[in-house]
Every structure is written in C-alpha cells, then in structure tokens.
Structure 1
Amino acid sequence: MEQVNQQEYVIAVVGAGPRGTSFLERLLAQVQRSSPGQRRPLRVNVFDPAPHGPGKVWHPEQSPLYLMNTPASYPTAAPAGQTQEKLPASSCSLSFMDYCRANALNEDAATYPARAAYGTYLAWLSKEASAHLRGRGVTVDHISAEVTQLSRRSNGYLLTAAGRDYRADAVILALGHLEAEQGSGPSHLAAQAERLGLHYQGPAIPTDVDYERFGAGEKVLVRGMGLNFFDLMIQVTAGRGGRFRHDPEAPPGHRLSYTASGREPQLIAGSRRGTPYRAKTTAPGFVPEGIKLRHLTEEAVQRLVDAHGELDFTEHLWPLIQQDVTTTYAQFGGAGEFDAQSFARPFTERHWSSPEEYQQSMIEWLEHDAATAAAGAGSPEKMAVNALHAARLIIKRLVTERLIRPESRLRDVEGWFEALVEGLTSGPPLQRMEELAALARAGIVEFLGPEPVYGVDSTQRAFIADSAVVQGARYAAEHMIEAMMPPNRITEAISPLVRGLLQQGLAVPAVMEAGGQSHVHKGFEVTEQPHRLLHSDGTSGQIYALGLQLSSAQWGTAIAAEAGGDPQTTARTLDDADAAALAVLQQAGGED
C-alpha cells in the first residue's frame, strides 16, 4: 500500500492522454481560483503506461507521416480564445497554435500537423499543469503503470497498478480507446488465419499495428477506407521510401505522381460504400464562412420541442437538415437537387464488367473529390456537406440534452445518420486524397467494389474477397487488416479495470428503452454532468468518467476541443473536465 498522509484528499486520474491532461489543467484553474485554507491538502496520482500527456495515440515519437484530422488552428486541450469567457483560463491555458507560436514552431494554421507534433504539445501541457499545481501546494505524482483493479473501500477507493495499491478519495476515468474482443466475424477470420498460417490484423490504434508484416509485393486485403486506412496507405508507401512528386501546374486531383521504392505491398481496399471517406474542403474554418442553417435553427428546434417534447430524428429533424443541405448547395452555385445520401453512396445500383473498369471509375472519383476539396467555397458539393456538418453540431447538443427519443437516437442518429455524416465530413485532408489518387494510378492500391465480402479459402490457403457488382473481381491475399479502431463498447472491452468495475457493480452499461425493448448501449450509465458512474444499485460515488465511455450521455465524443469553441458543443470535452475538477475540489472542501 502506498504511504500517504491520511489528511490528504487523493485524486486518482486513470489515463494520461488528452482528456486526463485536460482534467489536470482544469483542476489547476479551479485551484488557482480557490483558497487552500478552504480544503484538505490535495494529492493527484496520474496513471498511464503510455507517455503522460499524449498517451498512446499522440505519441511524440510515432511516424511523422501520421497527420491530424483537423487543421492546426482547431485543436486544444485547454480553454483558449472565446472559450475562456465561460471556462476561466489557468496559468497554462494555451491551444496547440498558441503553443506553436510561443515556441516559434513552424505550423501554419490551415495545414494538418503531424500527430507527433500535437503529442509534443500535450506532453508540455501535462508537465506544465503538474508543475503549476505543485507550485500551489498540490502533490502530483505520475505513475507509468496501468490500473488493473479498482474497488470501493469504507474510506474511498483502492486502485492496483503494477502490483501496488493506491488509496483515492475520487477517481477520474479518462480511458480513451480500449482494446476490445473481436466480433464473431473477425474472430472467425482470425481463427482460420491462425490455422492456415495467414496474417490477420484486427481493429487497432495505428501506432499498435506492425506494418512491417506486409512484405514487398505481397497482397493485403483491407477492410475499411476511413482514417485508419489512410495511415496504413501512407506508412507502407512514403514510409518505405516511395516518392510523391508534386506538379503545381496540374489540375487538382492530378497534382501528385508516385515513384515506387519497390518495397511496397499491394493494397486491395474495400468498404461498404465502395469509396473512402471524402476529403475535407480547403475552405477555412471548422464550419466555413457563409454556411448558415436557415431551417434547422434554434428557433425551429424550440418550436418542435414545445410541440412534441422529445423529437423523432427522421420525422422532425432530418427534413430540416435536408432543406439546409439543398439550400446551401444552391446558394454556392449548384444546379439541380442535392441528395446527401446518394452523394455518400455514389455507386449505388451500378455494375462493372471488369475489375479494370471499376479501378478507372474509382480513379475518376478520387480525382473529382480532390478537385472539389481544392475548390473550397467554389464547390457547391463541399459547402452542402459542411451544412450537414453544421447540423451535426446541433444534433450533438440535442442528444446531450436528451431531446431526441431513445428509439430514434438508436434507429436513426446512430443507425444511419452517424455513418452518413462521418463518411462525408470527417475525412482526411486534401493531401491524402491526392496521394491516394496517385497510388491508384500507379497500381499500388486497388479497390474491391461496393459491399465487398471477405472470407478464407482453405484450398488456396489465402484470404479472399470480392464484390458482386464488379464482374471478375475476386482477390486472394495472405494478409488481411481491419483498417478501423476497436469498437467503443464497454461490454466488449478486455481491460481488466473495466471488466472489474462491471463485475463488482461499480459500473453498469447504459440501457435505453426503445420500442418496448431494452437495448444495452456502448457507454457507462452515468449521472448528469459532472458525469459520475452509476452503480448497479442505482447510487453514485466519486468515480467520474471523461471521453469515449460517455457515449451513452453524448453522441460523437471528441478527442480534441475546438480552440475558442462553445463549451456546450465543440469544446464539450473541456466543459466535462472542468465540471469534474470543480466537483472533486468541492468534495475536498467538505461540500456536498
């Protein structure tokens, strides 16, 4: 057992990535605004085997080829700009861009920085917040170990990490992505692969994947063309000495050509829609200037709430979103109707007579998407998509405020709208789409076709895949990778900490009642903000949750907050951290 002063109020922070770091900075802000004489002495123990600050995802020593999915002007782990009007700053409240400017780092606000660069900022913020807390008399210890057990005691909680026990009065769970059990489909493929000596890579954080397993010239079947796919793509090409040559005189979509190093594998990629996530527009701003929702307005939503109480997404909200999408499309010069669902699945009801014909269709699609992204506000399609993005922010708030019926949230928001909006608005920067087009033209990347089917052929001793709408498209490979993150579902997490919490009844999965049936949701059942875990007996203690495992209370939990964003929407992660910090500080002062 760790020897501590029993008079101390001990806060255990489990997870030292962006959310745990935001909690430290918010605790500092609360400490700096309070009087030490009003509370017990404070001790903060921060646990994580990964680097403290960046965690595993933002490790500063990862490949510099991995890019963030937002421009440098966007992300922050501390309040900045207008956010400070509602969440007062601490003595180290800097956004990523503030940090870059203060340290003379060459990051342009509009460019997409390396994830390693953002990790350096997070490491600085963690170290700085800890130092400033110590300067205020708070004991802060960083422990490079995984918490494997958490149990309740009469005087608080007991945590076990690396064989040692630690006492705590309050616990902050900032767990981030958790390794998960494989579903029935992937686990079947993995079992067959092991039996036949094939290589199967399940869903994982990119920094956990050994891309060196894919040898030069070897075929790799890829399931998923979201953001993890682009990490794979760049690491096995430019990461192996391949060269992209830039021609500034060429039209968008054709500005890069690729010279192979000879060390690349051949990627054969597929997704249900047949295409990757669409590239983000180069028009500046999280929601570009000129995008204004004229139908899904606050006033319109309030009228609906007054009339119906809880809302049905498809009946009440989607028609307004569609009107805003089509109105924006026309506003920026689009001709005819714009259907977001058809735009997301451009190859529906099409057939191809050969794989070669499909590859050409895909190359043309990639080139066109790159061209529309490069056009910025000159692309009616991309501006219409950004109206959809603006609408998503309102839907996020309505979910948080529980103004959408549970059955509609499950059936509509999470059932189809989430996939639609992710594929259209959460894609990579333009650079990645230009690179993919170049790799497709060079034959390094091929595409399977819509709705691909994957399996294992024991006779060939290979993974196989094909698409019913592409005649003759049947591929075999000795490698297969699921290019996606582990599912964010606590009941599937293999974390001994999470499993122990569920087994002891200190945590329960959220359950939603819909259509007369109970549905187990992905995240923890929690109280209103500050979000404490609800126990199996319906009570709550001093275990707070931040981030991904709040998916029952929020929709689309974010890793980073928007610099200058609204704490109720794009800076919600900071608001949650601030609320938890205030709550534990009040507990340390003896307040209820």
Structure 2
Amino acid sequence: MSLRHITPSSPAHRIAIIGSGPRGLSVLERLAALMLMDAPLKQVMVYLIDSAQMGSGRVWRTDQPRHYVMNTVAEEVSSFSGPLDDGPIRPGAGPSLAQWWSSVDPAYPGPNAYAPRAVHGEYMQFVLSTIEASFTPNISLQRVPAVVVDLLNEENVQTLELDNGAFLQVDKVVIATGHPTPELIGWERELQQFAQQTTGLEFFRGDSAADMPLSRIQSEQQVGIVGLGLAFHDIVAALTVGRGGRFSVVDGVTTYIPSHREPKLFAGSRSGMLIPARGRNQKGPNFQYQPLCITRDKIDALQKRGHIEFATEVLPLLLVEINIVYFATAIRAQAGQAAEQQFKHRVAQQQLFSLPALVAAAADFGVSDLPLLELDRLARPFRAQEFHSPADFALALDRVLEDDLCSAREGNVDNPMKAALDTIRDTRALIRSVVDFGRLTPRSHQEDFLQYYAPTSLFLTAGPPLYRTEQIRALIAAGVLTLVGPETVYGIDTQHRKFSIESPRVRHSRQLIDVVIDGRIPSPDLLRDPSPLTRNLVRRGYWTNYINQGIDEAFVTGGVAVTPGPYHPIDRAGQPIKGLYVLGLPSEHTRWFMQAGSSRPGFWTDFAQDAHYVASDALQLAYAQAPVAITEVA
C-alpha cells in the first residue's frame, strides 16, 4: 500500500505511533490489550513509524555488541503491562525479560543477571510479534520505516510528512521519540569546533555508545572521557573488550589481558568518583517498599498544596526514610530480624522522624558507631581533598571502590548502605508526584531538584552490575585507564594543538589528549533539539516550553508542556491538542524520570500507567458509532 494515497475518507480509525522504542511499544501493547478485552466497532489501523529497527528502536537494536548491558536485573524488566497468567501469552499478560530469556537461551544466566541491550531488543521483538499475533481481522499494524519531519493538525486530522516525501493522514498521533541530540553549547561546542579545525583531533558528542564512531579512534591515540556514569562504562567496554581485550577472573580477582589495540584512556568528572555499583539483587520482582516517614498521605498533602520547597519539605523526609532502612538493616545484621522489627515499630509509634532521633534509637538497639548516611558524602567522597600526585589519587580511589564493592557483594537487602540507597529507587514514584507539573516552586525545581537531587540520586542508584566496577579496577591496574580526579577540566592546548585533561586537585595530573568523548547522555531541551519534527512542532505552536510559573519567578524547563494523563501537548494558545500525545523524553522536566525504559512485571508502574492513559484515550473514537453516510442524488 502506498502511503501517498492514504486519506481520511476511510472509515477506519487510524493511530500513528512515532518511535518504536520502549515508550512507543508500551502504547502499542496497551492498545492491543484494550482491543482484546473489548473489540472496537470500527476497523483500527495502527502505523508504527521508526527509522531504526522496528520494535526495538535505536538504543535497543539487536545488532549491537553484547558488551553493552542493562543496569536493571532481568527479572525486574517487562514490556508487558501484566504478568503471565493461566491463559496464553498475549498483550496484557506476558513474560518478563527473565522469563522469556530463560525460555530461548540454554546459557541463560539467571533472573538476577544483567542482559545485554541487544537481548532486551530481541525481547522487544518478541513482544511486537505477540502484539501482532493478537490482532483480529479488523485490526492491522503497518510498519513505516521512515522519519517524520513535519505534522499538521487540522480539523481533527493529523497529516504527517515523512522524509521519503510521503504523507500519512491519521486521527491520532502518539509522539514517543527517544533520546535527543541537542545542539552543543559552552565548552562542549568550543571543543567540537577546535577538533573540526585541527587535524588529528576528534570530539564525540554525548550519545549512545553504540552510535558513536568509536572505530575511528586509533590505538596510539590518547582519549579523554567526560563523565563516569553508565555511558562511560559502555565507552570503556567498546574500546577494550570491543577491541579484543579480555578479563580473567581467578580466585575472585579480576585482571585485564590487553589486545594492544586499545587507546590510552583518561576519564574524570566533577566528583572524580566512579558511579557506585548496584548491590547484588536480593529482592523479588514484586517487591514494594512500604515507607514509614515519607508516606503517601504526607506526599498527597504537599501535592495538593503546591508551591513546595524540595530541600526543606521533601528531601528531609526522604533522608529520614533512607536512614531508617540504613539503621534497621545494621540492627538486623547485628541482633536479628526481631530487633529490626522492634526498631521500626518504635520509630513509627513514637514518630522518631528526625536524624538525631534515629541515631539515638539505633544506639538503644546496639548500633552506636554507624554515622548517618549522607548523599553528598557518598556521591562526592573526595570533595575536600587535595592529592600530591596521580598515584596518590589512584590509591584513594581504589580504597573507595573496594569499599563500594564489598557493600555491593553483600546485597541490596543485607548491606545497610545498598539497602538504604535502594530506598531512593523504591520511593521514586512518590518523589515524582511532588515534582511533576510545577508543584515545586520555580527556584526549588531548578536548583534543589534538577541541579542537585536528580543527578545525585541517579548517580547513587542507577549504577552498573558490580562486575563492571571490578573491571574498571583491573583496567586501571593494567595501565589502560586513568581516572584523573575531582573537578576534572577538559581544555584546549593551542601550542601543542591538542586537547587537555586535568584535575586541579591532583598535582601533575594534566595530560594532552587527541580525542574527547562526551560520556554523558544529553538532557532534553526543546529549543536546542535540531530534529526537523521538533523544530516544526515548535514553529507551528503545537509544542511549547513548559514554564514553572511562580508568583514572582519563573523557570523555563526545556521540556514539552503537556497535560496530565493522557499527556496532550499544550499549544501556543494554552490549549491541549486532543489529537496528539507526548510520552517519554520530550516531556522530561515537565515530568521527571522519563528515561525509564520498562515496567516491573508484578504491578503497574508509572511507565505502564502512562501507556494506558494514552492508549485508552486514543481508542475512544474506535468505539463510537459511525455516522450514517448520506449520498446526494443528482
């Protein structure tokens, strides 16, 4: 069928989904689940549009190397909106990633393994085929391998212009595009321009490592990596094991055997600290934490009131909750589970919801030598230190990494610190409910939350499997990788026509380098997004910047302004566009943590609920009685 001839004259209800990654697939899955439960009156045609691999998208495509891995254990990941039941596998009731993986791979490593991204992409392909198999004759899916470059909303008809020159007219459009690549500004732009003007230098902007042209880097070159988060691990893997190096584990000690095709790697960040490892998973996929201090009632009261100051009204509640788990876990390790329960009961009954009160209560249970858990201290362990040499810093770093690994090996239930940090993940939905849609004051939203808490909490909770940290230590020991130090600075050396990297707090740390790789995933920013579709949606006034407007201050967030579910974009006139929906990263900052790429298998998370809101609204016209056609007689 030629897309050039599709017009709204057909009685079918047409829905286009732009982007077939996790968010787009989740909407398709909910559309299918709803139509399975209640067959629509009209024919429904769904167009899934993506220029990358259909059903997996760019980030999860199945042809990427296996050394790019997820940071969530397989049993906590599902692309179905409901778990398996006694019926057949179908939209609304399907296997988790772990359950599917175990059924297709004889070498399946277990439910607490971290799957390669390509394996998750294969799972998404399975989900897509399951969705298609569920369709009845009056429901169809057309895969459209293209890029949408423009959209016109007119008289309840959405006309999409594709990059192949075709036009597609539909009733509803779900925009679920993924990670953007915003235009560079500041020192990143200066480094990019210097590389473009200087032979032998390269600057790679932040992106998925699988999409970076890393093969251009030569083994004799010196490479600097910006940031020490998840993308850093992917980049390092590509330039080491991706070039034939290998890790050997003997008696629990990891060593690196080089291929001698690796470049020399230098890396650093503001904290100088490698993102901490995830604790060995000891929780089942259906685990739900029940908070004692940061309760739903308290959060609901704040949410209804609005004008919230995050640093003084929300963060103290969370810090108390984190420390409750911290001390309770330590008490269990020392005195048993009954003592832990008694401690929690006393905290709840006596409302001991202050940090000094928790310290005193823990001392009553025999835990008196444990310092309070401070997020700053964990995220920036070198913040007040100066180092006499790179070797001096390397020694201090290794001690911190070894301590982190010891904690991670004990697990996210048994180790006090890892159990406490998991509380940040377990309360994320509560935090989101006071942050989304401008409930914080503009200043608090920008400074307390986006500049401080959001990156700090992500750094402390979104780490890689612990074996990644072991591998980084092995690479440092092998001389392949150097972590430069805190407050790392990347600069330009015009005399030597090189880039430079150094830590002002580590003497003699300066190095000249040939390549700078930005190992940070870019944050969405509506007005810096060069995508033709985004530019046209802004030009037409369909997408506007969400502004957190206070009484006497305002914060322009950079996220697309949307309504609460079903997430219609709010146009230039301040009105929702009922034919459009926006999910995921374009609305980051209007909402929080839109980078989530899956749901949990045992219960509905916000991820699944978002898809349901959109799907149920987009299908409404498919259940409306079609008007009787009247034909004029000449």
Please report the TM-score for the alignment, with normalisation by the length of structure 1.
0.92
Give the structure 2 partner of residue 199 of structure 1.
202
The Cα offsets for residues 519-565 of structure 1, whole Å up to 9 and x where unpaired, read as 22122111121011111112223111111122244211243333235
Displacement of 1:302 after TM fit? 4.7
- Aligned residues of 1:561 and 1:572 also touching (Cα < 8 A): no
Give the structure 2 partner of residue 10 of structure 1.
14
**Correspondence 1:281 to 2:317:** no
- Aligned residues of 1:287 and 1:390 also touching (Cα < 8 A): no
Q: Structure 1 residues 428 and 590, CA, compared in 2 at 3 Å: closer, same or farther?
A: same
Give the structure 1 partner of residue 320 of structure 2.
323
Q: Structure 1 residues 580 and 300, CA, compared in 2 at 3 Å: closer, same or farther?
A: closer
Question: Hey, what's the Cα distance between the residues in 1 that align with 2:198 and 2:39?
Answer: 66
Secondary structure in 1 matching 2:99: helix
Secondary structure in 2 matching 1:561: coil
Structure 2 residue aligned with 1:381, among 404, 407, 417? 417
Give the structure 1 partner of residue 33 of structure 2.
29
**Correspondence 1:238 to 2:273:** no
Displacement of 1:431 after TM fit? 1.0
Give the structure 1 partner of residue 583 of structure 2.
546
**Correspondence 1:268 to 2:263:** no
Secondary structure in 2 matching 1:562: coil
Question: Hey, what's the Cα distance between the residues in 1 that align with 2:288 and 2:399?
Answer: 29
User: Looking at CA atoms only, which structure, 1 or 2, has the larger radius of gyration?
Assistant: 2
Question: Hey, what's the Cα distance between the residues in 1 that align with 2:380 and 2:551?
Answer: 29
Question: Hey, what's the Cα distance between the residues in 2 that align with 1:437 and 1:404?
Answer: 40
Question: Hey, what's the Cα distance between the residues in 2 that align with 1:299 and 1:537?
Answer: 35
Structure 2 residue aligned with 1:226, among 214, 226, 229? 229
Question: Hey, what's the Cα distance between the residues in 2 that align with 1:20 and 1:490?
Answer: 20
Alignment of 1:306-321 (within 5 A): 310-321=307-318
Question: Hey, what's the Cα distance between the residues in 2 that align with 1:287 and 1:548?
Answer: 25
Question: Hey, what's the Cα distance between the residues in 2 that align with 1:305 and 1:486?
Answer: 29
Q: Which amino acid aligns with 1:332?
A: T
Secondary structure in 2 matching 1:534: coil
- Aligned residues of 2:214 and 2:239 also touching (Cα < 8 A): yes
Q: Which amino acid aligns with 1:556?
A: F
Displacement of 1:155 after TM fit? 5.0
Aligned length in residues:
576
Give the structure 2 partner of residue 573 of structure 1.
607
The Cα offsets for residues 438-485 of structure 1, whole Å up to 9 and x where unpaired, read as 111111110111111111111111001211111111111111110012
- Aligned residues of 1:407 and 1:513 also touching (Cα < 8 A): no
**Correspondence 1:556 to 2:556:** no
Q: Structure 1 residues 55 and 482, CA, compared in 2 at 3 Å: closer, same or farther?
A: same
Q: Structure 1 residues 514 and 538, CA, compared in 2 at 3 Å: closer, same or farther?
A: closer
Give the structure 1 partner of residue 400 of structure 2.
365
Question: Hey, what's the Cα distance between the residues in 1 that align with 2:571 and 2:433?
Answer: 26
**Correspondence 1:108 to 2:110:** yes
Question: Hey, what's the Cα distance between the residues in 2 that align with 1:531 and 1:302?
Answer: 21
Secondary structure in 1 matching 2:516: strand
Give the structure 1 partner of residue 430 of structure 2.
394
Q: Which amino acid aligns with 2:172?
A: A
- Aligned residues of 1:150 and 1:158 also touching (Cα < 8 A): yes
Higher mean alpha-carbon deviation, 178-187 vs 555-564, is at 555-564
Higher mean alpha-carbon deviation, 168-177 vs 96-105, is at 96-105
**Correspondence 1:62 to 2:98:** no
Q: Structure 1 residues 565 and 521, CA, compared in 2 at 3 Å: closer, same or farther?
A: farther
Give the structure 1 partner of residue 537 of structure 2.
501
Give the structure 2 partner of residue 213 of structure 1.
216
Q: Structure 1 residues 3 and 343, CA, compared in 2 at 3 Å: closer, same or farther?
A: closer
The Cα offsets for residues 163-199 of structure 1, whole Å up to 9 and x where unpaired, read as 1011111101010112221122211111111111211
Give the structure 2 partner of residue 294 of structure 1.
292
Displacement of 1:126 after TM fit? 1.6
Higher mean alpha-carbon deviation, 362-371 vs 420-429, is at 362-371
The Cα offsets for residues 79-103 of structure 1, whole Å up to 9 and x where unpaired, read as 1339x9xxx9736633222322444
Secondary structure in 2 matching 1:176: coil
Question: Hey, what's the Cα distance between the residues in 2 that align with 1:368 and 1:291?
Answer: 26
Structure 2 residue aligned with 1:464, among 500, 503, 507? 500
**Correspondence 1:337 to 2:372:** yes
Q: Which amino acid aligns with 2:390?
A: P
Question: Hey, what's the Cα distance between the residues in 1 that align with 2:551 and 2:188?
Answer: 30
The Cα offsets for residues 20-51 of structure 1, whole Å up to 9 and x where unpaired, read as 111111111111122333xx321111110101
Question: Hey, what's the Cα distance between the residues in 2 that align with 1:551 and 1:394?
Answer: 17
- Aligned residues of 1:76 and 1:560 also touching (Cα < 8 A): no
Percent of aligned pairs sharing the same letter: 27
Q: Which amino acid aligns with 2:316?
A: P
Alignment of 1:429-440 (within 5 A): 429-440=465-476
Question: Hey, what's the Cα distance between the residues in 1 that align with 2:272 and 2:468?
Answer: 17
Q: Structure 1 residues 120 and 340, CA, compared in 2 at 3 Å: closer, same or farther?
A: same
Secondary structure in 2 matching 1:541: coil
Secondary structure in 2 matching 1:192: helix
Displacement of 1:2 after TM fit? 2.7
Displacement of 1:210 after TM fit? 1.6
- Aligned residues of 1:291 and 1:328 also touching (Cα < 8 A): no
Question: Hey, what's the Cα distance between the residues in 2 that align with 1:281 and 1:384?
Answer: 11
Q: Structure 1 residues 572 and 421, CA, compared in 2 at 3 Å: closer, same or farther?
A: same
The Cα offsets for residues 335-394 of structure 1, whole Å up to 9 and x where unpaired, read as 222222112110011011111211222222222221211121443222222233333332
- Aligned residues of 1:180 and 1:492 also touching (Cα < 8 A): yes
Secondary structure in 2 matching 1:51: coil
Q: Which amino acid aligns with 2:223?
A: V
The Cα offsets for residues 245-279 of structure 1, whole Å up to 9 and x where unpaired, read as 112x34xxxx2011111111111001000012110
Higher mean alpha-carbon deviation, 465-474 vs 319-328, is at 319-328
Q: Structure 1 residues 370 and 516, CA, compared in 2 at 3 Å: closer, same or farther?
A: same
Structure 2 residue aligned with 1:46, among 34, 45, 48? 48
- Aligned residues of 2:151 and 2:160 also touching (Cα < 8 A): yes
Secondary structure in 1 matching 2:20: coil
Structure 1 residue aligned with 2:23, among 19, 25, 37? 19
Question: Hey, what's the Cα distance between the residues in 1 that align with 2:590 and 2:601?
Answer: 23
* Gapped regions of structure 2 (runs ≥ 5): 331-368, 627-634
- Aligned residues of 1:2 and 1:167 also touching (Cα < 8 A): no
Q: Structure 1 residues 301 and 541, CA, compared in 2 at 3 Å: closer, same or farther?
A: closer
Displacement of 1:332 after TM fit? 2.5
Alignment of 1:380-459 (within 5 A): 380-400=416-436, 403-459=439-495
Question: Hey, what's the Cα distance between the residues in 2 that align with 1:504 and 1:304?
Answer: 36
Q: Which amino acid aligns with 2:588?
A: S
- Aligned residues of 1:24 and 1:130 also touching (Cα < 8 A): no
Q: Structure 1 residues 337 and 139, CA, compared in 2 at 3 Å: closer, same or farther?
A: closer
Displacement of 1:591 after TM fit? 8.6
- Aligned residues of 1:325 and 1:384 also touching (Cα < 8 A): yes
Q: Structure 1 residues 305 and 526, CA, compared in 2 at 3 Å: closer, same or farther?
A: closer
Q: Structure 1 residues 139 and 378, CA, compared in 2 at 3 Å: closer, same or farther?
A: closer
Secondary structure in 2 matching 1:533: coil
Give the structure 2 partner of residue 354 of structure 1.
389
Secondary structure in 1 matching 2:114: coil
Secondary structure in 2 matching 1:527: coil
Secondary structure in 2 matching 1:278: coil
